[in-house]
Amino acid sequence: MFAYTLKRLLQMIPALLGIIVITFILSRVLPGDPAIMLAGEQAPPETVDKIRQDMGLDKSLYLQFFTYFGQLFQGDIGYAYHTGHSVASDLASRFPATLELTLASILIAIVVAIPVGIIAATRKESVIDHISRVFSLIGACVPIFWLGLMFVYIFYSILGWAPAPMGRISGDLNPPTHITGLYVLDSLLTGDTAALKSSLAHLLLPAICLSTGTMAIVARMTRSSMLEVVDQDFVRTARAKGLKESAVIYRHALVNALIPTLTVLGLQFGYLMGGAVITETIFAWPGIGGYVTDSILAADYAPIQAFTLISAILYCGINLAVDLIYGTIDPRIRYE
Amino acid sequence: MSTAAQTAQGVPPKPAAPSKPTTLWSLLLHNRLAAVGLAFILLWTVIALIAPWIAPYDPYATDMANKLQPPSAGHWFGTDNFGRDILSRVLYGARISIWTGLIAVAISFFIGVPLGGIAAYYGGRTGTVIMRVMDVLLSFPSLVLSMAIAASIGAGLSSAMIAVGVVGIPEFARLMFGQTVSLREKEYVEASRAIGVKDSVILYRHILPNALAPLLVQATLGMGFAILTASSLSFLGLGVKPPIAEWGAMISEGREYIISGQWWLVTFPGLSIATSILGFNLLGDGFRDVLDPRLRSGK
């Protein structure tokens, strides 16, 4: 297992180099000139030249690449002109908000979609099966930005159930004492019930919005892999030896059907990174996604490229982690 | 009558078996969900083609006296913050969305397919390099990569098309790679090579037509993905810019009015995006079911 993990980590190195090269190409080689973008179309040539020199864009491409590469290794992922801070510090301060939102949406997807997929498969052609299939179809087609706005309209404007889509906690409350940076967890740990209620209320709608696409895909995948498993001999044997139906489904069928679901969950991480940008914009969530949108609007380049780089690295890492979890779920899988 | 026939022949006459569909199109039309998908696609394509003739108003004509009007007999979908007719803008928006989808998928197809074909046909170092680059592209989350590309080129319709198109290249390359690897060993390919047919001709005339089915499925599903991603880019300010009537940009413009209850500004463009994507997804899934004999027999 250790040897396999090490081998996979080593195999990731060329991929990571490729990711760095592509991020570099995106930032330096494509037609858009970052210096003009930063200075504005109407800026005098001297100002553009000065910015170009400051950014090192007047040097050769090779030199620029090695400078960029060296900076990355020192943890320098650029400077955000629109905030006046380094991108690394901006991302670090916003990371807990995005982590909280993403974790909540994954949790919702798992808690809702896996049971729905199981019920749909075990009661094929029932009402719940039809509802789950329609939901899976619609969930994959509805744009997340539209869904978020409709949630705001229905649950805030009409029903008044949700708080205003403005951040992580009500403006009249202080955030809970910082322990992990996740407001719900911190308020639980410190016993701050007012902050807990408010942070949960603020989290719920964006988390459901972000998880909708994932729920649709996970429910669909769980249903189809369960359908393949429930007809197999070992499930029939488990039933024949008189096991309770719940034991047959959860201890025999589900464990064998979980691998494809887990794969899809890993792949969904990429969708969640993109979705977080949109969801955070709609709900004024002070995370990395909202920061990226602000950078887009300010034509500030470095944060977008840094976000792209970090997303790709995390995406590779999470998919590796998913590969490693396979063996825990299914002991027949051996790593060599 | 039936008793007479039964007595005359000795056995009861069998009811005529319903004829089984055989061609791709008839199989597809017998798949109910695929037929619904096709209907949505046809609807939006026809709307895109005839939008100038059926739109009740000029989609760009402002009328500040009638701004933010809810749906009514005069304006079926209401008016936006500049008094523009939302129905007309939705109808014109179909042109941009379908066009964006087509160009983006064409970019993915016409770059990805040759790359995948060449990588598999020649193999060796060229093939490895091409496919490793494709793997690296796939390691970026798709919306994030398209955002980065669009941000690099600068916002606009064409940059959205390029961004979405580039993101789709690796999928086509991988599919074509897999198909070519299995087809290049076939006798007819070997025979063509033996009689001296050029490699490019073998790839284009012999391998591509036989690899087309899964590519067609991918292209159909890719249209839905392209429309969704391009509208997301417009929503974020990286795609089509206002005042152009594009669905994602319309939702972006209308979002600040949702809190005050003016739902129609975002509802109708959103439903348009959802139904067009639904159409392509249903048709793509239908294609896949029809082309996969295992799934067909299971129906």
A22/chain B closest Cα distance in angstroms: 8
Q: What angle do CA B32, B36, B42 make, to 5 degrees?
A: 140
- Residue B157 contacts A, CB cutoff 8 Å: no
Model confidence at A319: pLDDT above 70: yes
pLDDT category of residue B7 using cuts at 50, 70 and 90: very low
Mean pLDDT along residues B74-78: 93
Tens-digit pLDDT profile for residues A14-65: 888 999 998 888 876 655 566 776 777 778 888 888 887 877 778 888 888 8
Highest-confidence range of A143-152, A307-316, B205-214, B287-296, by mean pLDDT? A143-152
Q: Does domain B30-52+78-292 have CATH number 1.10.3720.10?
A: yes
Tens-digit pLDDT profile for residues B173-203: 999 999 998 888 888 888 988 998 898 899 8
Q: Which has more confidence, A7 or B270?
A: B270
Measured CA to CA in angstroms, residue B235 lies from B61, B156, B239, B247 at distances of: 22, 12, 7, 9
Mean pLDDT along residues B190-217: 89
Tens-digit pLDDT profile for residues B48-64: 999 999 999 999 999 99
Radius of gyration over every alpha carbon of chain A, rounded to an integer in angstroms: 24
Average pLDDT, chain B: 87
- Residue B112 contacts A, CB cutoff 8 Å: no
- pLDDT given for residue A75 in this prediction: 85
pLDDT category of residue B269 using cuts at 50, 70 and 90: very high
- Residue B235 contacts A, CB cutoff 8 Å: yes
Residues of A in contact with B282 (CB under 8 A): 137
Look at A253-262, A294-303, A319-328, B15-24 and tell me which has the smallest mean pLDDT: B15-24
Model confidence at A240: pLDDT above 50: yes
Q: Which two tokens stand for residue A207?
A: 């988390």
Phi, psi of B255 (to 5 degrees): -65, -30
Contact A35, A55 (CB under 8 A): yes
Average pLDDT, chain A: 87
Is the link from the previous residue into B209 a cis peptide, with omega within 30 of 0? no
- Residue B32 contacts A, CB cutoff 8 Å: no
